[in-house]
Amino acid sequence: MMKIYIRNMACESCMIVVREALKDLDLNPVKVSLGQAEIKEELTEAKKKKLDALINKAGLEIVESKGGILIEKIKNYCQEYVVSEKHVKVNISEFLSKKLDRDYNYLSNIFSEVELCTIVHYINLLKIERAKEMILFEDNNLTEIAHKLNFNSLSAFSTQFKKITGYNPTHFKNLKHKRRIAIQKLTKENQ
């Protein structure tokens, strides 16, 4: 069995793209999850290039460096943390340290060097993207959204939302051209 690490996998659709690309190349996926795929056979260099070309169309790419793999694991666990933060009883530093069996300061320094933002800022970017989705596609009021995303108050949520988007949540809700940002572009473009 071989693991393949993949950058920018952020949702179920990404996993489907990877699974289909593997099948197109006659590779047998054992498991496909956020940030990685496990296949039964070894991946030849030729098939690796073809796989990378296939998944690149969806904004995904194979990661080979140890640092790149670690960054993708951090991002995937950050996404998991944001989705399950209400149920997780520890803060992000403890959560990542336990999941990756590494010191948080080390993880934080590596992440900041590569992504040019802190882990906490990345978490906030993820939360605000989720908030945009909730504003656009769900019937939650802003207080409910703030609560679901684990902000201390509506005021704290509104402040963070405006800091990241340039709009307060109510104004964003009323915009004609409502736009979300792909998770792949969250860190380097939104400083």
| Percent of the chain surpassing pLDDT 90 | 59
0.85 exceeded by the pTM?
no
DSSP state at residue 185: G
Higher per-residue confidence, 45 vs 90:
45
**Residue for token digits 């530093």?**
93
Q: What's the mean pLDDT when you consider all of the chain?
A: 88
Residues 13-31, mean pLDDT to the nearest whole number: 93
Cα(151)–Cα(145) distance, integer angstroms: 9
Q: Looking at residue 125, what is its pLDDT? A: 94
| Percent of the chain surpassing pLDDT 70 | 90
* 9 confidence band (pLDDT: 50, 70, 90): confident
Whether 183 shows a pLDDT value over 70: the answer reads no
Residues 114-138, mean pLDDT to the nearest whole number: 91
Planar angle of CA 99, 10, 128, nearest 5 degrees: 90
Q: Looking at residue 174, what is its pLDDT? A: 82
Whether 189 shows a pLDDT value over 60: the answer reads no
Pair 68, 61: CB distance under 8 Å: no
Chain segment 158-174, per-residue pLDDT in tens = 999 999 999 999 999 88
